Structure 1
Amino acid sequence: MTNTPKPSMRSTELQGYRGLAALSTVIFHVWQQYYIYDAQGAHPPIDSPYLGALISLEVIDLFFVMSAYLLTLSYARAAIDGEDRTRPRRDFLFRRATRILPLYVLAVLLVWSLRNPSLPGDWRDLLEHLTFTHVFDQKRIFYTLGPTWSLSLEIAFYVTLIAVGPAAIRACRHLCTRRARVLLCASGCAALYLAPVAWIAVAHHAVGVPHTNWPVYFGPQARLGGFAAGMLLAVLLVALGERGRMGRRWATATALTAAAGLYALSYHSDPENTWHTYYHPLAALLWFALLYGTLHVRTTSRPRWHALLRSRWLTGAGLVSYSLYIWHEPLMLALYDAGALPRSQAAFPMAALFVVAAGVLVATVSYWAVEYPGSLLAGLRDKKGRPREFYPEPTPEPESAMR
């Protein structure tokens, strides 16, 4: 066990990334709303492939990598350095449930009820959303709350983590050297990353499954690679400790290279392009590199662009990002159907600005009225996962990532 001091790895910069990605997601969905397909072809709201590549750059893999990184840290420290501060499985799941379910269930019931005014309605859609199984339904995967297909993957990751995390800790106890423990953990993460890549390769090249078969390419068997990259990041940073921390120039160069790679991947993401087939595994690696260049930096020489990530307006958006993620799509569709948004493609920038402003307002109210009180339920259990006999003033658990 090392005596190297452990720096804070729940960086404020991650909250900034979360806010930036949440705002990007809202603009992307407005972009999709104003995208027109007809007999003459596709017509984006702004006819610029360079801007289109920037707006359509998918950030869902960033959320997966960040979420897995934060939730894996305690397991990585326990496995590599013996600092077992991991919570019991029931307590871990209880805390995740209090973080996710109150707002999610409320939103699903409300939106589903408004779209199914007469019973029984599409009861299967409701059941699948409440059980997080809609990601396996080709027809209903984007019903009710379209973006929440990714929550099904989060749930699958939680189950995976509480299965492989304790197993890795037990296996590492039998290894004599720290290097061997790091190698074991890193190898496990690599295997979890390569398994979805193999699935995608077989589905696309051997079986010929079209990319529009959502359960095949959006299910956990195809998208676990993003979480595996985040787990590997946690293992790497715990293994390194204070060693090899980068200065401003190297950190900036690493982040810029990763950002350029992500942009290029988005720009060349055509369904007929091979890059498109492996878009998400490749994006996960690039987000891994970007976060590494952000987190493994000397605290005395932070790059100037960190100031943007730490800015109050961006971290504020990160704070309410889960509520923004839940509400922005039904809010956008309601405004569009009510005529509150312009219909012409030329008005896309104004529509995007309006939806972002309205979405942040609704998300802020939702956070303090529903999400924050729900997170306080985590205080009903002590550190060993047992119900408390007395209930002191609880504090909310820090958000791991936008869900």
Structure 2
Amino acid sequence: MHGAAPPGQSKAESEAVTCYRSDIDGLRALAILPVLLFHAHIPGFSGGYVGVDIFFVISGYLITGIIAREVDGGTFSLVRFYERRFRRIIPALSLMILAVLAAAAWLYLPGDLEGVPRSALAATLFAANLWFFTDTGYFAGGADVKPLLHTWSLGVEEQFYIGLPILLLLLARFAPRRRSIVIGIVALLSLGLAIAFQRDTSGFTFYLLPARAWELLAGSLLALGAVPMPRNRALREAIAWAGLMAVSLAVFCYDRDTVFPGIAAMAPVLGAAALLHCAPGTTAGRVLTLPPLTATGLLSYSLYLWHWPLIVFTEYATDAPLSGWTRLAVIAAAFLAAFLSWRYVERPFRDHRRFSSRAIFRFTAAAMALLCLLSTALMAAGGWPQRFPPHALRLAESRADISPERGRCHDTFARSAAPCILGAPVKPDAMLWGDSHGVELAYALSLRAAAGGRSLVERTTSSCPPVLGYDPPKDPRCARANRAAFDAIRADPGIRQVYLVAFWANGQFDDPAFVAALDRTIGAIRAQGREVVLIGPVPPQPFDVPRRLAHLALSGDPGRATGAARSAIEGRTVHLRALFARLRRNGVQVVEPMAALCTDGHCALMRDGRPLYFDSHHLSVAGARLVVNQSRLR
């Protein structure tokens, strides 16, 4: 999931920089609204996730201004600084985390619940970004079961504000005239790191502070006066409108395939910086001060906190993405929750007359201790399976019906490990080459191979279809992994048969250029004198299959679950299917999983009481064995 950062600071904190600027609240609205609409799947906001960058710039600008003013005046206190941060962040965050723990304990199946208290503990300790960076793999769960995923950005901010005050204090003492230069150098180093690793697939540039710091420091440089204010009114107008256009371009033109963050993040970051710097007194600034925008900006922190859990829990309960009236209801609920949180939590705790400094620190300690205790207790419960009947648990636990060799044999190229040989302890005469869809099929094939005294090599790399020349902008592994697989085929004459497997029905691979590259790859393998077996599309389902079956088991008969329509899958693979037909005519064996899985107009989800998928589109071992056995693959 592309996430969102916490909206900047309060009105009082804005006043601490110079005076209250309503255009900053408007800019917060232009950040949080795209994030909300992107997460709610509203068409047209495919780049709404760039709100994180806008918020980072605003935060860097406001907080640095506060610190620098107090450091220069000799009044800065770390205790007072963190008191302000606690007043702003902790009360609303604590309430949201508490509500998430309660809702997840009531709603989530055991396998999905296990990750929630861990993320709650990390969010409480402002280390959510570190947790989600390491929380990877098929059983970590996707964004759709992580109601606290959005708290990663709070971790980035608070980690930034551990180091920034200390840095500014040191610069004030030892290099007061070089403050902006040093901050600028640090920002450039961070930007360089973000660009250098922008195609890294580990999440380093997305989740961790070193590659995100430049976005906050862009605001810091404005607050420190490093960028001169244009004196010409027309130039200020042009810069402000250019900033608004840059932000809009990112929101409306970026999408999930954009390489981000990195160079692409410069548009929203510089656009937000341009608006912060030049918007006051311009027509663009007047747009930002429109009452609906400033009102939304005041709610932006609480709206940010509540919108994502509401979306996640609604989609979990309904086993479907938000759409129609449900989507509108969730958006309305997010605004209502945000208003109540702002009115009855945020505002009272910012009032020094109602909560003294000592009371804020006591509340912070008590709230964090309570959340840590509750999170630890839920972690110890191990998913709390006693909440559900055994028949529902059996279906939910089928998410673990995976290849026992998945951890050892999948993504070996990315780990610089030797490819696995599965089956009998003999030299392999076959290779399965593909993406993650091939893992369980490789295991099912290995069982048949072992019975016949044979073995095969598994070469599977996540999200990398077995197509030479496939080089997606966001994943540089694929081209190298595929070239290594082909070179291994060419170097080993003992490999007589090559199985090709991928998520062909994902909606992206039915492109004529991709289909032509697949055709060339098959031709190159056959030119080496090897037999090609192309395993066609596994029909994806619109929901997590074990979860859907378990939910149906709780409310009735899981046997009435309906899978995707076969015609819909065929409609998404028109160009691929034309290639498959031609390959058959040319002697290539093409195996159709749908022949085994879709015996009528819809595709099956379960056979003999066992789910055929372990998520929404990966076959379970039961599903893979069904395909292999009915296709009579050897």
> TM-score, normalized by length of structure 1?
0.71
Q: What is the distance in 2 between the residues matched to 1:323 and 1:74?
A: 22
Q: Relative to structure 1, is the Cα distance of residues 323 and 9 closer, same or farther in structure 2, using a 3 angstrom cutoff?
A: same
1:124 aligned onto 2:154: no
Residue of structure 2 aligned with 1:203, choices 197, 207, 219: 197
Match of 1:64 in 2: 56
Tell me the CA shift for residue 134 of structure 1. 2.1
Paired residues of 1:186 and 1:235 also in contact (CA < 8 A): yes
Tell me the CA shift for residue 224 of structure 1. 0.7
Q: What is the distance in 2 between the residues matched to 1:113 and 1:227?
A: 33
Match of 2:331 in 1: 356
Q: Relative to structure 1, is the Cα distance of residues 113 and 290 closer, same or farther in structure 2, using a 3 angstrom cutoff?
A: same
Residue of structure 2 aligned with 1:155, choices 151, 155, 158: 158
Please show how residues 105-184 of structure 1 align to structure 2 within 5 Å: 105-117=94-106, 121-122=114-115, 123-137=117-131, 138=133, 139=135, 143-172=146-175, 181=177, 184=178
Q: Relative to structure 1, is the Cα distance of residues 328 and 266 closer, same or farther in structure 2, using a 3 angstrom cutoff?
A: closer
Match of 1:83 in 2: 73
- Per-residue displacement from partner, 1:334-382 (whole Å, max 9, x unpaired)? 444555x99686x3xx655443332212111111222222223596249
Q: Relative to structure 1, is the Cα distance of residues 215 and 276 closer, same or farther in structure 2, using a 3 angstrom cutoff?
A: closer
1:380 aligned onto 2:365: no
List gaps (5 residues or longer) in structure 2: 1-15, 363-634
1:250 aligned onto 2:235: yes
1:290 aligned onto 2:268: no
- How well do the aligned residues superpose, as a CA RMSD in angstroms? 3.5
| SS of corresponding position for 1:144 | coil
Please show how residues 14-29 of structure 1 align to structure 2 within 5 Å: 14-29=24-39
Q: Relative to structure 1, is the Cα distance of residues 52 and 252 closer, same or farther in structure 2, using a 3 angstrom cutoff?
A: same
AA aligned to 1:380 is S
Task: Kindly indicate which of the two structures has a greater share of residues assigned to helix.
Answer: 1
> TM-score, normalized by length of structure 2?
0.47
Q: 1 or 2 for the larger relative contact order (CA 8 Å, sep ≥6)?
A: 1
Please show how residues 199-348 of structure 1 align to structure 2 within 5 Å: 199-204=193-198, 209-210=200-201, 213-236=202-225, 244-247=230-233, 249-265=234-250, 269=254, 277-295=262-280, 302-337=281-316, 347=324
Q: What is the distance in 2 between the residues matched to 1:252 and 1:366?
A: 36
Q: What is the distance in 2 between the residues matched to 1:271 and 1:329?
A: 17
AA aligned to 1:166 is L
Paired residues of 1:270 and 1:276 also in contact (CA < 8 A): no
Paired residues of 2:120 and 2:148 also in contact (CA < 8 A): no
Q: What is the distance in 2 between the residues matched to 1:144 and 1:386?
A: 27
Q: Relative to structure 1, is the Cα distance of residues 20 and 198 closer, same or farther in structure 2, using a 3 angstrom cutoff?
A: closer
Paired residues of 1:132 and 1:152 also in contact (CA < 8 A): yes
Q: Relative to structure 1, is the Cα distance of residues 355 and 198 closer, same or farther in structure 2, using a 3 angstrom cutoff?
A: same
Tell me the CA shift for residue 60 of structure 1. 1.1
Q: What is the distance in 2 between the residues matched to 1:192 and 1:160?
A: 12
Q: What is the distance in 1 between the residues matched to 2:122 and 2:97?
A: 11
Match of 2:18 in 1: 8
Q: What is the distance in 2 between the residues matched to 1:90 and 1:218?
A: 27
1:103 aligned onto 2:97: no
Tell me the CA shift for residue 52 of structure 1. 4.4
Q: Relative to structure 1, is the Cα distance of residues 130 and 20 closer, same or farther in structure 2, using a 3 angstrom cutoff?
A: same
Q: What is the distance in 1 between the residues matched to 2:119 and 2:17?
A: 45
AA aligned to 2:27 is Y
Tell me the CA shift for residue 201 of structure 1. 4.0
Q: What is the distance in 2 between the residues matched to 1:83 and 1:268?
A: 44
Q: Relative to structure 1, is the Cα distance of residues 255 and 157 closer, same or farther in structure 2, using a 3 angstrom cutoff?
A: same
Percent identity between matched residues is 24
| SS of corresponding position for 1:94 | helix
AA aligned to 1:357 is A
- Per-residue displacement from partner, 1:10-54 (whole Å, max 9, x unpaired)? 4111011112322222111102xxxxxxxxxxxxx64xxxx345x
| SS of corresponding position for 1:170 | helix
AA aligned to 1:218 is Y
- Per-residue displacement from partner, 1:45-93 (whole Å, max 9, x unpaired)? 64xxxx345x5361111111111111111343466xx4344x3001101
Q: What is the distance in 2 between the residues matched to 1:128 and 1:289?
A: 34
List gaps (5 residues or longer) in structure 1: 1-5, 32-44, 174-180, 296-301, 388-403
Tell me the CA shift for residue 113 of structure 1. 2.7
Q: What is the distance in 2 between the residues matched to 1:194 and 1:335?
A: 41
- Per-residue displacement from partner, 1:148-194 (whole Å, max 9, x unpaired)? 11100110121122211211221345xxxxxxx2xx12212212212
Tell me the CA shift for residue 96 of structure 1. 0.4
| SS of corresponding position for 1:209 | coil
| SS of corresponding position for 2:283 | coil
| SS of corresponding position for 1:236 | coil
